[in-house]
Structure 1
Amino acid sequence: MPFLPFVRPALLATALIAAAPAYAQMQSGDADLATFAPSKTPNNDKIDYAIWDEAMKNIVISMGPSLREGAPRPDPSFGTRRQYGHVSRYRLEGTRVMFSFLDPDVIASFTEYRKDLENTANIVDIQSLSRNEQLAFWINLHNVAMVEQIANAWPVRQPREIQIGGVPLDEARFITVEGIKLSPRDIREKIVYRHWKDPVVIYGFWRGEIGSPSLQREAFNADNVGRLLVRGAADFINSLRGSQDQDGRLQVSEYYREAAPFFFPNFESDVRAHLTRYSDEKTNALLGQTSGADAVIKEYDIADLEGGVREPTYSNITSGGVSVSFRIPQSMAALLKERETKFQEIIRQGRTGTVTFSNITLPGVEGEPSEIE
């Protein structure tokens, strides 16, 4: 599988862009992060993420839409009693990153690309970009950083086990923008959640876990950010890792409780209203037959193909009885076989194609209905 080295993001400016002023190196408190408030007079500058877009198409695999059926516990690998690979009942939902196939040069290119995105903020005034352009920048930077750090630490069972300088990955301030140190959580909560009021932004941020919103197979940009966020919302909400019925009570992902201070002040009613916005027929029925909203669904296992552990036994992957690939771990072959069986069921049910939401206007500033506020 070929991978091209990442290059610096090309800037497609419509006017001459003056270098943004350098900021003194500092630890980021809330006061420092106030500098990232979007400007009220945006310009037309754009950032090109074509290289990251190409990478996502090469290393991210979709497990397809949820059937709202928990996957059964898989059999142990042949010749051993040890259980390798994924055992989660959510393992056939969301997307997976092919961390076990990445060589050191590719992993190093993630770090280079993350630093290039950081440096972009020294060339372009991020705060003066359009709101959608800024949102795409923050989502891409967050997700690049997460992929980079998980790739560096792999094999690892759960991304939240990763530490940088003794600090958990999500809290570690290893990202620098305009001289200000940021953690992935800072980007989500202190920049995006603070300045964008539509909770659909939750679904842009990948956490490296099976239980998180999916990593999209496209880079975000100003033109597709609304479409990709709606896609991510529908995928997550209409899945078991997003919402379930437990004895007549609605269970939802614990990520909603995390986002509650920003988007769901009246938690139960606000979350239920939000889910209704993107719910399909099955989820509508679930909402109608349940009460409340308990944020208890979680799955911390890594969203990769191999379960975060190198398996010593291998097999050839086949499709329709024909060998179609090189030798891969048995547990991965079993997961991909489950995925193929699921897709056959989707076809049998006539659920092919992509669901498109039309005539949806995302909240925005006056005169810019396509902007996400």
Structure 2
Amino acid sequence: MKKTINTLLILLLAGTSPLSVAGEENIPEPFRGDDPNSTLEVAYDDLNALLSSYVTVSGWSTREKAPRPDAGVGTRLKTRINRLTAQEGNRFYFKGASEKDLIAEFISDIRASLEMLPAEVPLRLLNKNEQLAYWLNLYNFTLLDEMMKVYPKHNLLRVLDYGDDDSIMAQKLLNVAGVPLSLDDIQFTILKEKYFGNPLIIYGLWQGNIGGPSLRSTAYTGKTVWRKLEDNAGEFINSNRGTYFDGEVSALYERNMPFFDNDQAKLISHLMDYLQGDMFDEYANRDDVEFEMEDWTLAALIGEGRKYGRSAATNGAAMLDAVVATQPGEAFGDTVAIQNYLAEDNIMKTPVNFRFSEAQLEILQKLRTKHEVSMGRVEVTDLDEEEATEDKKQNN
């Protein structure tokens, strides 16, 4: 009678060394290392289906102030806006997304799928650009999922609440490869350490508010991640959200000073690399800055905020709705595309198969086996006693 051995661990006395993880001692072990020669590419078609349908791209800022909001008919109350920043930055169509359970479900499924991926595919099998794209996408969709729960609240000051242990940024919202993670963990431990504090990283981390970097209309990918971060940096720095007269810069930089070695001179040098026009001259001879530029308003389409009165919106800022209202949502056929993703049920059940081509899956299987060997153990399941004995003889 055969006895089933559920799990046999074969300890290897010799084998290839694990990939180098020098300088990553503070990063949780499952996220250390990379393969610079890896050609594996993670697919984000589901993210693109959502983002292309619900993100409105505003383009670079003209630095013009938004018109003053008018009170609606039958009221003297006005909607409060920051006129310097109200027309800047990309916007997410929260109203349209919140009205469809399908979309909220889709966002949550994407988040969960991304969260599960490193448990199936060790991140060290990917190159650093692919890893960076993964972390940025996970961070942004986690926050987007949380913002969907916050909506229709529009003031995010107490939601983000930087530095507070109860902040949405500090809470352990994720469990990735068995490691509880907060958004702050991703930003200030994993990304800062792995990418040597490169300040471009901060422009890929959406904060949910108008005053932060823009949420892009496409997902980050390994091939284009640095190009997109450069674009986000240029757009943000050359907007009132990022820089203004008299050395006033975004409060975002105060939070991210560790990326500049807590040195204002390095921050100013970084800003000078991207500033254009008159603002370049404004900062050319500055020795310090003030972290004064803030807008904690949810980065929703203009006009989604609280309205007073019963008349149709007539002020200039609200009239922008007429321009963008036909862009997101059903105009792009998002419902059909997203229904197809959910109907296939691939996102949650088989995140690996969903995010890699057949050819890459074959390569990935070989790499995973090699990875297990290099880590000093191979797991073999459901061997009967005779097979296990024979296997042991072959390994002696």
TM-score scaled by length of structure 1: 0.71
In structure 2, the gaps of 5 or more residues are: 1-24, 325-396
Paired residue for 1:89? Answer: 84
Paired residue for 1:334? Answer: 318
Paired residue for 2:276? Answer: 280
Paired residue for 2:338? Answer: none
Q: Which has the higher contact order (CA 8 A, sep 6+)?
A: 2
Residues of 2 paired with 1:146 and 1:332: CA distance? 30
Paired residue for 1:227? Answer: 227
2:39 corresponds to which letter in structure 1? Answer: N
Alpha-carbon spacing, 1:331–1:301, altered in 2? closer, same or farther (3 Å): farther
Residues of 2 paired with 1:161 and 1:173: CA distance? 17
Residues of 2 paired with 1:266 and 1:180: CA distance? 28
Equivalent residue pairs, number: 294
Instruction: Tell me which moved more, 288-297 or 172-181.
Output: 288-297
The structure 2 residue matched to 1:149, chosen from 142, 146, 151, is: 146
The structure 2 residue matched to 1:63, chosen from 54, 58, 67, is: 58
- SS at 2:289's partner residue? strand
Paired residue for 1:215? Answer: 215
Instruction: Tell me which moved more, 68-77 or 252-261.
Output: 68-77
Contact map agreement 1:159 1:300 (CA 8 A) in 2: yes
Residues of 1 paired with 2:323 and 2:84: CA distance? 13
Alpha-carbon spacing, 1:228–1:78, altered in 2? closer, same or farther (3 Å): farther
Paired residue for 1:206? Answer: 206
Contact map agreement 1:114 1:141 (CA 8 A) in 2: yes
Paired residue for 1:161? Answer: 158
Alpha-carbon spacing, 1:157–1:286, altered in 2? closer, same or farther (3 Å): same
Residues of 1 paired with 2:286 and 2:65: CA distance? 19
In structure 1, the gaps of 5 or more residues are: 1-29, 317-328, 341-373
Residues of 2 paired with 1:281 and 1:260: CA distance? 25
Paired residue for 2:291? Answer: 295
What's the offset of the Cα at 1:278? 1.6
Paired residue for 1:270? Answer: 266
1:89 corresponds to which letter in structure 2? Answer: L
Residues of 1 paired with 2:195 and 2:249: CA distance? 22
What's the offset of the Cα at 1:171? 1.3
1:131 corresponds to which letter in structure 2? Answer: K
What's the offset of the Cα at 1:133? 0.2
1:279 corresponds to which letter in structure 2? Answer: L
- SS at 1:122's partner residue? helix
Residues of 2 paired with 1:86 and 1:64: CA distance? 20
The structure 1 residue matched to 2:257, chosen from 244, 260, 270, is: 260
Higher helix share: 2
Q: Does 1:109 align with 2:106?
A: yes
Residues of 2 paired with 1:233 and 1:211: CA distance? 13
Identity in percent: 28
Paired residue for 2:41? Answer: 46
Alpha-carbon spacing, 1:75–1:338, altered in 2? closer, same or farther (3 Å): farther
Contact map agreement 2:265 2:287 (CA 8 A) in 1: no
Paired residue for 2:137? Answer: 140
Residues of 2 paired with 1:227 and 1:186: CA distance? 24
Paired residue for 1:127? Answer: 124
Residues of 2 paired with 1:336 and 1:271: CA distance? 34
The structure 2 residue matched to 1:304, chosen from 300, 307, 310, is: 300
Deviations along 1:296-315, one digit per CA (max 9) or x if unpaired, are: 22211111125664547677
Paired residue for 1:345? Answer: none
Which structure has the larger Rg? Answer: 2
Residues of 1 paired with 2:311 and 2:276: CA distance? 38
Q: CA RMSD in A?
A: 2.8
- SS at 1:305's partner residue? coil
Contact map agreement 1:63 1:94 (CA 8 A) in 2: yes
Alpha-carbon spacing, 1:191–1:85, altered in 2? closer, same or farther (3 Å): same
Alpha-carbon spacing, 1:124–1:296, altered in 2? closer, same or farther (3 Å): same
Deviations along 1:83-123, one digit per CA (max 9) or x if unpaired, are: 24744430111111110111222112111110011111122
What's the offset of the Cα at 1:41? 5.2
